[in-house]
Structure 1
């Protein structure tokens, strides 16, 4: 059975949309707890997995504010259509000056609709902030960005997310991963998609060796089940933290290509990894997603078993 994957209205580098079937395939069939994401990002995984209950967290308040506004009904598909149609027409008439006007307004007032605008009209769909918390992604150089077909596409994405939230019990929180993991119970599943050290580090408030080790410590002491997304290796180098931290857990790998990102070297295929503290049963390993299952200690010279 083919899983239909939808794309959320917010874009970002490292989005997991194409990896959702793979992640979905290893979730235990008997899972009935709360799906917890300390790094919800765009929400692509949670909205597609669509568990009955979810706690979706991030330290980026603009992501949380946007989806909270959808959950409350402040932002609807109709609101988005009208807003993007109006601002898109002004963008077409005034060009990049209007993009930077909206960007400045967003940095001053933090409107979730303005966040959507700069996210979809910014360069390469990046989410990046300076040290003062200001959104600083440049214009995509496409004044015709919000043509009718594109507005309709985004409107449909908002409608899908809104419907998913209405049918489920989703809670959004702006907090760091330590607090999120601490609140999880043994019956829950924690799905972590932190920034990839050595690849994507443009996180809202940074990500470094200390953060990676703190996350490892928190997950190692968690008594429930967790799934961690990270990268394993590419043609040029290995992710050293696989061996340093995660090698005693179960590691699944597959090739993946990221199209987003400001640096050309970050657009090459990589071997994506899912790290889990539970064994995926044979019935849950789908050949359609070409999942490759192994323990790190059995990996030799990058042979993928």
Structure 2
């Protein structure tokens, strides 16, 4: 099932973000949702495009992302944009939206990395060496993601942001995404929490709905390095979802059963109890057949309804 609905895009270009799959995922959700939980929310692409009668809870362990979202929710749009502009100006980063590419001796094809490289590293160092968190540094983090390579988010073992400089800056498209995202989270009853899914204190009941998009056990991304997601986490999550099912709470789980020659045997065995829908990059839905081996990546939505 697909729709022509215009979906809002997150202000963060999160690896594994579900914006491109929303037209397949959201129509498969229940029609009437009391409270909605976006577990492992990442860039919150799903949460900002779902309607619920009660609250929308965004849960993620990435503290910096949750801090940013709370800052964007509570801070006026004018203050957010003024602070971002001042950060860009103070560190002499490019502002092609205002001045174009020629001012910096760059063009759109080669990108802005050569001009921004040392300036970006100074901003990144100042962020990593900050004495404490603040609204200002939440927006510095956002600027780092905008000017960083492929807009990725990654922290090393010391907790330092370590993505290198990228080719783009705070251009018109990025600004529009940020504007629309802020409008959505200010209007909707969204609450952002930084917590491990095993330590959540949400008492979900019948009529509530939980969507889970965890790190994928058989694929690697910047958010899942340093053994961030192992078979233990996988089994703990599946047990948690089984408990929701036993309590009459509907859930949907995004994951991959097969990826580049590997298969998630734990998930395949568990999924036999539930309904499995294939989500492919041609945006076609079909019922999953266990014998299907055609695609390199078999991305699925598993539901208990």
CA distance in 2, matches of 1:183, 1:46: 19
Tell me which residue corresponds to 1:286.
Answer: none
CA distance in 1, matches of 2:49, 2:210: 16
Q: For 1:103-133, what per-residue CA distance to the aligned partner results, in whole angstroms no more than 9, with x for missing partners?
A: 1222233511111122122222221111222
Q: For 1:205-232, what per-residue CA distance to the aligned partner results, in whole angstroms no more than 9, with x for missing partners?
A: 8111110110011111112011111012
The answer to whether structure 1 residue 65 and structure 2 residue 67 are counterparts is yes
Q: Give secondary structure in 2 for the equivalent of 1:90.
A: coil
Cα shift at 1:85: 4.8
Of 104, 113, 125, the match for 2:139: 113
- Normalised by the length of structure 1, the TM-score is 0.77
Tell me which residue corresponds to 1:161.
Answer: 181
Determine if contact 1:227/1:274 at 8 Å carries over to the other structure: yes
The answer to whether structure 1 residue 212 and structure 2 residue 212 are counterparts is no
CA distance in 2, matches of 1:46, 1:87: 34
Cα shift at 1:94: 5.2
Cα shift at 1:153: 1.9
CA distance in 2, matches of 1:88, 1:120: 14
CA distance in 1, matches of 2:52, 2:231: 32
CA 1:161–1:16: 2 relative to 1, 3 Å = same
Of 83, 86, 89, the match for 1:86: 89
Tell me which residue corresponds to 1:274.
Answer: 301
Cα shift at 1:184: 2.6
Cα shift at 1:33: 0.8
Gaps of 5+ in 2: 95-103, 105-113, 283-294
The answer to whether structure 1 residue 101 and structure 2 residue 101 are counterparts is no
Determine if contact 1:38/1:181 at 8 Å carries over to the other structure: no
Tell me which residue corresponds to 2:45.
Answer: 44
Measured on the aligned residues, the alpha-carbon RMSD in Å equals 2.5
CA distance in 1, matches of 2:92, 2:190: 34
CA distance in 1, matches of 2:188, 2:155: 31
- Normalised by the length of structure 2, the TM-score is 0.77
Tell me which residue corresponds to 1:32.
Answer: 33
CA 1:137–1:226: 2 relative to 1, 3 Å = same
CA distance in 1, matches of 2:183, 2:138: 18
CA 1:198–1:87: 2 relative to 1, 3 Å = farther
Q: Give secondary structure in 1 for the equivalent of 2:299.
A: strand
Cα shift at 1:39: 0.7
Matches within 5 A, 1:103-252: 103-109=124-130, 110=133, 111-140=137-166, 142=167, 145-146=168-169, 150-180=170-200, 182-203=202-223, 206-222=228-244, 223=247, 224-234=249-259, 236-252=261-277
Determine if contact 1:80/1:155 at 8 Å carries over to the other structure: no
Q: Give secondary structure in 2 for the equivalent of 1:95.
A: helix
Determine if contact 1:69/1:75 at 8 Å carries over to the other structure: no
Gaps of 5+ in 1: 258-267, 279-305
